[in-house]
Structure 1
Amino acid sequence: MSETVTLDRREGPHGEVVLRRRDEHYEIIANGTFLMDTSDGRSERLLIDAALAALPEERRAGASVLVGGLGVGFSLAHAAADPRWGRIVVAEREEAIIDWHRQGPLAAISGAALADPRTVILHTDLVEHVHASTDTYDALCLDIDNGPDWTVTEGNESLYSAEGLAACAARLTPGGILAVWSARPSEDFEATLRNAGFSGVRTEEVPVARGVPDAVHLAVRPG
């Protein structure tokens, strides 16, 4: 029998977030919805690797990336482990999640990455950030929901609309890469990306033990 222990429970501006330990793994729950755990991480790492590989080879060294969502830290840790990435910015809206990485048990995953001088953690809502910021990046790696078709909070739906994708494109350098994690492939989202003016739209999948594969949707901002 698995033993589940609640380590922290916080009420924030977007509802409740919970950190649990199930046996040796950690889980993050938001408003009763399972977000992610530390049992695998292959698709979170693919999110980073696929974005870098999609850039022209001459642009990979020193490329900048905005990671949307700190989560359990797999994407950040994987980016920081690759010396080719230059500036690594993470947008995380939940103060509790940032605390769990800085002073809590998730520091075991992200501690080295947080200490890396290339890393910047922004305590901000990603959706608001892509609309309000004027910064640009070579890649946007977004993992704030269970996918475009299954958002954590209602306000996140706008990120995957034509207007939200236009804001993402504005945060990308010409030829920059948008990579979006999803718990399942979405043909509808691929169509939305094309209609929003992105090129090179494709999906990479990661098989899972049960059910449909995880997916990373990739698209290029035209030069």
Structure 2
Amino acid sequence: MTASYDTPEVIDRRQGPYGEVVLRRHGALLQIIANGCFLMDTSDGRSERLLMDAAHDALDGRPEPDVLIGGLGVGFSLAHAAADRRWGRITVVERERAIIDWHRDGPLASLSAPALADPRTGIVERDLVEYVNETSDTFDALCLDIDNGPDWTVTEGNAGLYGESGLASCARVLRPGGVLAVWSAQPSPEFEGTLRNAGFRRVRTEVIPVARGVPDVVHLAVRPG
């Protein structure tokens, strides 16, 4: 039986170490659901493009900066970064094996295949919180899109990333003058304050216009030189 446009069709459902992750098709769209929480779909990509572009612009012309992207999602951030020859090394940290598989040889491959084939691209299968706490690698930009924002995390363990100790770990993987960019489904003045308290400078929020409702935003902050 063929699902109607109004009935999402489950393409794959997996139980992983962080809970259930589901890939659905809803009409022409592909959607990722984690633990019953809608994460993202393939409808647009404006906010992911802004996430990458705003981070690059905040680097003030640094040549071939290396970027760490937190969360593979539907691949918009990675695809946009790989299409921009100004970026140097592009590292994506994704904790869900299912999402990586959907990009490598599944329904999301059509969005990300050129980016995954780019020699600058590397995929790390790991929890981002663990990665920023333990890696010895450093980057010029850290772009986070693993939750619906600092105030609406997908799993409870992610919440600490947006506090002062978690932001200290983010600063540790950033080179001096490096940029932290955080996507959010809504503005968070409290998070702006936490960024400043954690020692970041040039803290600001860029708004992504939407047709109706609360706009998406990208929170930006710079590690002091």
TM-score class, shorter: over 0.9
Q: Tell me, yes or no, if structure 1 residue 18 matches structure 2 residue 19.
A: no
Structure 2 residue aligned with 1:112: 114
Q: How far is 1:3 from its partner?
A: 3.6
User: Which residues of 2 match residues 11-160 of structure 1 at below 5 A?
Assistant: 11-57=15-61, 59=62, 61-160=63-162
Q: Structure 2: give runs of 5+ residues left out of the alignment.
A: none
Separation (CA, whole Å) in 2 of partners of 1:17 and 1:211: 26
- Identity of aligned pairs, percent? 71
Separation (CA, whole Å) in 1 of partners of 2:10 and 2:73: 17
Q: How far is 1:123 from its partner?
A: 0.2
Q: Which moved more, 1:109-118 or 1:205-214?
A: 205-214
Structure 1 residue aligned with 2:177: 175
Separation (CA, whole Å) in 2 of partners of 1:173 and 1:113: 24
Q: How far is 1:210 from its partner?
A: 2.5
Q: Tell me, yes or no, if structure 1 residue 209 matches structure 2 residue 203.
A: no
User: Which residues of 2 match residues 2-17 of structure 1 at below 5 A?
Assistant: 2-17=6-21
Q: How far is 1:2 from its partner?
A: 2.3
SS across alignment from 1:146: coil
Count of aligned positions: 221
Displaced runs of 4 or more, over 2 A: none
Separation (CA, whole Å) in 2 of partners of 1:45 and 1:143: 12
Q: How far is 1:4 from its partner?
A: 1.4
Separation (CA, whole Å) in 1 of partners of 2:173 and 2:183: 18
Q: Structure 1: give runs of 5+ residues left out of the alignment.
A: none
Separation (CA, whole Å) in 2 of partners of 1:202 and 1:182: 13
Separation (CA, whole Å) in 1 of partners of 2:211 and 2:99: 27
Q: How far is 1:62 from its partner?
A: 1.0
Separation (CA, whole Å) in 1 of partners of 2:103 and 2:68: 18
User: Please, what TM-score do these two structures have when normalized by structure 2?
Assistant: 0.97
Separation (CA, whole Å) in 2 of partners of 1:211 and 1:93: 30
SS across alignment from 1:85: coil
